A and B are shown apart, each in its own frame.
Chain A
Amino acid sequence: MKQDFTIELSSDNNFSVLNRIINILNRRRVRIKKLMGFEDENDFRRGGIILLVHTTTDLAEKCKLQLEKLIEVDVVTVHDGSTAYIELSERIVDVD
């Protein structure tokens, strides 16, 4: 059964990293409901992305493993539901 998941991801910040991440999800036809990317305020070479996706638990877990394989990606965490997305995005907006 499909449900919402929040994917929290930290990575290097370069020109292609967002495309790499989206490719992983698009190829597996994972629906992206919301997305927010940000640059680390202390180091522009680092950054992160949070995504709210709608998919199955199995596919969310498999996408996590594929995302972790990306060379630039550091840590990936998958949270059930949208609460984490709302909290994380508010924190990012507050920083900005």
Chain B
Amino acid sequence: MDALQTKVEPKPKAAVKESSPERISGSEILLRSLVEEGVETIFGYPGGAIMPVYDALYHYADKLTHILVRHEQGAVHAAQGFARVSGKVGVALATSGPGATNLVTGLGDALIDSTPIVCITGQVFAHLLGTDAFQETDVVNTTIPVTKWNVQVTEAKDIASAVAKAFYIARTGRPGPVLVDITKNAQNEIIDAAEYKKCEGIRTYRPRPVLQHAQVDEAAQLINNAKKPYILAGQGIILSGATKELIAFSEKTGIPVACTLLGLGGFPTDHPNYVGFLGMHGNYGPNVLTNECDVLIGIGMRFDDRVTGNVSKYAKQARVIHIDIDKAEISKIIPAHVPVHADAKEALRALIDKCKINNHKDWLDKFHALNEIENDKIIQKEFNPSGPLVMGEVVHLLSEFTKGEAVVVTDVGQHQMTTARYYEYKNPRTSISSGGAGTMGFALPAAIGAAYGAPSKQVVAVIGDGGYQMTIQELGTIMQYKIPIKILVLNNNFLGMVRQWQELFHGKRYSFTEMDNPDFVKIAEAYRIKANKVTKREDLAAAIKEMLNSKDPYFLEAVVGKEDNVFPMVPAGASVSDILLEAPQK
């Protein structure tokens, strides 16, 4: 990737006496604070109310790499992608008013998907607050529902402590997005420089629960006596870095493991105890057998409605152990018989000690037998189809050629579910998607962030033709910085998932879902990005290989069947065990 194209111009040293304290602006305090927090990359877009910060940034180009995105939504999604692959806090910078409100979608996405980011927004001068000044929006009140915490700073002296608190809150406990809104006068104000102090605690905030050993004992007893125990692994495994512990726990106890969408990569797909992907378009075995297990162990997951289907018919026969760092998630949707309020890694370590060596081969085989039915009825047809290209075969080849080791960033819709089903993730922090919010337009900018967060990894954005056009302007960012991501658009000229629902549940009335698309290859080429389009099966493998072998950014459009559906599917309102392997007969 190219370095920042702004020249490095170190700030000239002021002619001051040795003894007098250094005088610096609020903007410089902000940038020093970011450097102290270990920030190296910022995604942002300048504007009037954040100009003092950008002016100070001019002199910080040797310490902070700023990526100029093409829309603030791109900045926040890029910060998310950066955070998700690196485990560090992602940072986005925007101006007041529309600049700040353009962050809202990404903030909401980061909140529901527990992504640690800090967004800094400029604000009008403090004396203009509440006067409807140009580009004034009440950003703090606008973003309260979509942030873990936010704050407005109106004096330079408060900037460093606000930033310290923001980073502490974003990364601790259940991670999440934080917004710091800084008025322009605070950015301009010159004050004495002071030593930066990292936040080490907040009186009213207790992010790390103390593991209750009585809860662990109770859970271990249930697990040791279970005949059909079953682990549902969520993103909490990845966030707490508990993959090794989960593998050790599953191997010791012989318990099958299924992953949620955001949990993919938290347990290797080639492990013999891995039984598949959970949810509406998940694998057959893990969905059906949810309603047969006797002990259900949810770890770092929140029983999202896409996982549970109809809650009133969900795992009624099972005793539920729910391990989560967020107390409010426990028993929020599915009542937990044994709540374990704890960090996943800590809880798993304790459980490994207390659980007996066990083997549940017959139970595990049952998952594999059901998955074999799915393999015969669906997967083999997806991998060896006739007629137009099929999403499944494209993703299957991508997985094969990258050995399941690329960072794969997906958007929302059919391609997302297909990738979740067929990309064989081997490592944590390699599956990046918009889960809870389901934000179309997420993937392209998030892939940009992922490329900066994991510079040694191959980053592939798999996107549908609808979502791609929601943030397509970020091709400009990719062009400017020569970010070597690979963009794979699965084009069915439809908003495919909505169309699938219209076909199955709305009498095939395709109400405003068909898309007349532009020439995507020409668009990519206009951004000086190498581009190719593949329509024939015999050209597919070579086209994917060429994309992956490129050292530069690369765009590949795969034209797939217009009316292909993603199966299996748990219809809305149905039980997970009523998952369909094919469309119901009319």
Contacts and interface: CB of A to CB of B under 8 A. Distances in A.
A56 to B, nearest CB: 14
Given A66-B328, A69-B328, 17 more contacts: A11-B204, A12-B203, A15-B152, A16-B141, A16-B150, A19-B141, A23-B144, A27-B145, A65-B327, A65-B328, A68-B328, A69-B327, A71-B149, A71-B202, A71-B205, A73-B204, A74-B204
Which residue among B144, B151, B203 has the maximum number of chain A CB atoms within 10 Å of its CB?
Answer: B144
B326 A20 contact: no
Contacts of A20: 144
Interface string A60-73: 00100110110111
A71 B327 contact: no
14 contacts: A12-B203, A15-B140, A15-B152, A16-B140, A16-B151, A20-B144, A23-B145, A27-B145, A65-B327, A65-B328, A65-B332, A69-B328, A71-B148, A73-B204
Contacts of B169: 71
Which residue among B204, B327, B332 has the maximum number of chain A CB atoms within 10 Å of its CB?
Answer: B204
Contact of A62 (B203, B204, B332): B332
A72 to B, nearest CB: 6
B203 A74 contact: yes
Interface in B138-168: 140-141, 144-145, 148-152
B242 to A, nearest CB: 22
Contacts of B326: 69
Nearest to A12: B204
Interface residues of B, number: 18
A62 B144 CA distance: 19
B343 to A, nearest CB: 16
Which residue among A11, A20, A23, A66 has the maximum number of chain B CB atoms within 10 Å of its CB?
Answer: A20
A72 B326 CA distance: 16
Interface in A1-28: 11-12, 15-16, 19-20, 23, 27
Contacts of B150: 16
Nearest to B165: A71
Interface in B119-151: 140-141, 144-145, 148-151
Contacts, number: 37
A71 B151 CA distance: 11
Interface of A: 11-12, 15-16, 19-20, 23, 27, 62, 65-66, 68-69, 71-74
Contacts of B151: 16
B544 to A, nearest CB: 44
A23 B144 CA distance: 8
A20 B326 CA distance: 18
B145 A68 contact: no
A19 B144 contact: yes
B207 to A, nearest CB: 10
B324 to A, nearest CB: 11
Contacts of A62: 328, 332
Contacts of B152: 15
A16 B150 CA distance: 9
B165 to A, nearest CB: 9
A72 B141 contact: no
A12 B149 CA distance: 13
A68 B327 contact: yes
Interface in B273-329: 326-328
